[in-house]
């Protein structure tokens, strides 16, 4: 495959054919590129890039909703305040229901995760936006943070008996070592699926939207067909963005429950 | 010629990964359908189980996304 | 793509040279978000929600108190009404008894007066009758004396009177 790398990229090769027939150039992965904002080509660790911009916008959106929206502290809430309260009690109730009452002390951490993923997903749907959560680097850090902190927490709270999480008491004795192995593997795969699910879902939707939008440019008079398709896709993407944020948070709660109550 | 053959194999592989998405679709549909039939039998208990519904859907969906990821890797990274 | 020059990978997600940058900014973002949420937003919203829950339960408790007070007031009103009714009945009874007593007294007085007058009248009648009897006896004595005298018998006046009285008494008896 080294020869391919040296040559033009995949879609370049494909568009060579397409350009001859109608100038179809679709580059669905361009939108995920990390670019320096203020010139330059190299992306160092402290370079201000579009990642920085959209993460800052995420912070701004969260602040706008949760801090500015609730500044009135009204007993009868305004519209923005009631949305902020809705988000608050939504996550609070999720932790209470899934993890248990004693997990409420982790509420700020889980709320941070939820608000970040939610607004990064939603802001990624703005046209020409950069979706930070579509990058495996970002979601892997989020998932690994959850994984490591949950595992450490499990050992700190339960000591060595945390390992009983992998020892299925209800299974026949002969099967237990096999099951324990499977449980350990599935436990260790958690951060992988946790991070790839979010990044993959975001990436897939945006890439498909881009491909459809490219069709609209190529189809000429029949442009409205892919435009309608993109509109429908955007509605689906909005749903996916919300559900993925919800799923990411609720899985965090489920993992946290394993750390707090490994015997159930 | 060799490169074109490799391209062809890659595109075939990408197409085959689409089958994986179909499997995920079956799984998600199965979960949602079973949830709905259970919820219609006992609507009172349904509200408390929506979290489990979404967790199940997330697990089923993750495998579809893995196949999509394989497709992307074949297309752009290999 | 950035790899027009042919030096990058097709998927920007797998461009490891950008990973440190993304991870750095992600960590900064998460820390900032955590500080904003845990220091400002969540305590504020939590206190608002707690305050609202407190206000609602206080209001419900107050409403409960007011309801109880209203029930008590209604009971007191009914009690007062009953008392007033009983008092009214008592007053009516008293008045009736008083009137009855007055009436009885008046009737008794009238009866007594009637009886007194009747007795007086009877006395008068008796007196008149007695005097009439006396007058009849006198007349009878006189007449008997005269008759006896007319028959030319000189009779003792007292004997005549005695005979007349005897006859009168015998006739009366």
pLDDT of residue C94: 94
- CB proximity C6 to A under 8 Å: yes
Q: Which residues contact A169 (CB under 8 A, 6 or more apart)?
A: none
Mean pLDDT of A52-66: 94
- Domain limits for position A122: 51-260
- CB proximity B72 to C under 8 Å: yes
Is residue C41 within 8 A of residue A67, CB to CB? The reply is yes
Q: Which of A14-28, A135-149, C42-56 has the lowest mean pLDDT?
A: A14-28
Return the number of CB contacts < 8 Å for A and C.
Answer: 145
3-state secondary structure of C76: helix
User: Among all residues of chain A, which has the CA nearest to that of B53?
Assistant: A247
Which of B11, B18, B48, B51 has the most A C-beta neighbours within 10 Å, making it the best mutation to test the interface with A? B51
Rounded CA-CA distance C147/C155 in Å is: 11
pLDDT of residue C85: 95
Counting the structural domains of chain A, the total is 1
Q: Which residues contact B23 (CB under 8 A, 6 or more apart)?
A: B63, B64, B67
Chain C: closest CA distance from residue A188 (Å):
21
Chain C: closest CA distance from residue B17 (Å):
18
pLDDT of residue A10: 41
ipTM for this prediction: 0.85
pLDDT of residue A26: 75
Chain A residues close to B6, C-beta within 8 Å: 1, 4
In a domain, A183, yes or no: yes
Q: What are phi and psi of A72, to 5 degrees?
A: -70, -25
**Model pLDDT for residues B1-27, shown as the tens digit of each residue:** 678 888 898 889 999 998 998 999 999
Give chain B's domains with CATH numbers.
2-77 (1.20.20.10)
Residue from A155, A249, A151 nearest A194 by CA: A249
**Model pLDDT for residues A17-48, shown as the tens digit of each residue:** 344 344 566 778 888 888 888 877 788 888 88
Contact check, Cβ <8 Å, C22/A84: no
- The better pLDDT of the pair A171, C50 is held by C50
**Model pLDDT for residues A183-195, shown as the tens digit of each residue:** 999 999 999 989 9
Residue from A103, A79, A77, A111 nearest C41 by CA: A111
Return the number of CB contacts < 8 Å for A and B.
Answer: 50
**Distance separating the N- and C-terminal Cα atoms of chain C:** 170
DSSP C39: I
- Which residue in the set C13, C28, C46 is minimally distant from A135, CB to CB? C13
**Model pLDDT for residues C67-88, shown as the tens digit of each residue:** 999 999 999 999 999 999 999 9
pLDDT of residue B69: 84
Chain B: closest CA distance from residue C14 (Å):
8
Q: Which residues contact C66 (CB under 8 A, 6 or more apart)?
A: none
């Amino acid at each position: 495959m080294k020869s391919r790398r040296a040559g033009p990229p995949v879609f370049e090769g494909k568009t060579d054919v397409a350009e001859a027939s109608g100038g179809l150039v679709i580059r669905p992965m361009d939108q995920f590129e990390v670019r320096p904002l203020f010139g330059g080509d190299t992306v160092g660790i402290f370079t201000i890039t579009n990642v920085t911009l959209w993460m800052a916008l995420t912070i701004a959106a969260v602040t706008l909703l949760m801090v500015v929206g609730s500044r009135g502290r009204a007993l009868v809430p305004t519209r923005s305040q009631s949305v902020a309260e809705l988000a608050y009690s939504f996550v609070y109730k999720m932790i209470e229901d899934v993890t248990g009452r004693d997990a409420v002390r982790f509420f700020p951490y889980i709320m941070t995760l939820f608000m970040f993923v939610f607004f990064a997903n939603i802001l990624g749907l703005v046209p020409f936006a950069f979706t930070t959560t579509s990058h495996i680097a970002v979601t892997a850090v989020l998932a690994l943070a959850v994984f490591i902190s949950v595992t450490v927490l499990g050992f700190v709270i339960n000591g060595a008996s945390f390992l009983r999480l992998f020892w299925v008491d209800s299974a026949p004795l002969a099967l237990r070592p096999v099951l324990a192995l499977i449980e350990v593997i599935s436990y260790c795969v958690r951060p992988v699926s946790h991070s790839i699910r979010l990044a993959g879902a975001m990436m897939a939707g945006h890439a498909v939207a881009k491909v459809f939008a490219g069709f609209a440019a190529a189809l000429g008079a029949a442009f409205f067909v892919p435009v309608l398709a993109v509109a429908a896709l955007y509605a689906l993407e909005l749903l996916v963005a919300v559900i993925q944020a919800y799923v990411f948070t609720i899985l965090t709660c489920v993992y946290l429950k394993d750390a707090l109550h490994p015997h159930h | 010629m060799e490169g074109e053959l490799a391209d062809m194999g890659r595109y075939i592989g990408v197409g085959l990964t689409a089958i994986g998405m179909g499997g995920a679709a079956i799984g998600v549909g199965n979960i949602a359908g079973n949830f709905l039939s259970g919820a219609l039998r006992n609507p009172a208990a349904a509200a408390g189980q929506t979290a489990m519904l979404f967790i199940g859907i997330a697990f089923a969906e993750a495998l579809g996304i893995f196949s999509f990821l394989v497709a992307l890797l074949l297309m752009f990274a290999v | 793509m950035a790899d027009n020059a042919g030096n990058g990978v097709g998927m920007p997600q797998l461009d490891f040279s950008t990973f440190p940058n993304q991870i750095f900014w992600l960590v900064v973002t998460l820390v900032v978000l955590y500080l904003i949420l845990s220091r400002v937003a969540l305590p504020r919203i939590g206190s608002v929600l707690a305050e609202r829950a407190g206000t609602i339960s206080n209001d419900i408790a107050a409403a409960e108190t007011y309801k109880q007070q209203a029930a008590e007031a209604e009971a007191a009103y009914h009690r007062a009404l009953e008392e007033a009714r009983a008092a009214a009945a008592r007053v009516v009874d008293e008045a009736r008894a008083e009137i009855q007593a007055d009436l009885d007294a008046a009737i008794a007085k009238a009866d007594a007066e009637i009886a007194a007058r009747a007795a007086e009248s009877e006395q008068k009648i008796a007196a008149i009758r007695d005097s009439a009897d006396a007058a009849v006896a006198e007349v009878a004595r006189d007449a008997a004396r005269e008759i006896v005298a007319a028959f030319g018998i000189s009779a003792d006046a007292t004997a005549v009177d005695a005979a007349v009285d005897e006859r009168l008494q015998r006739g009366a008896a």
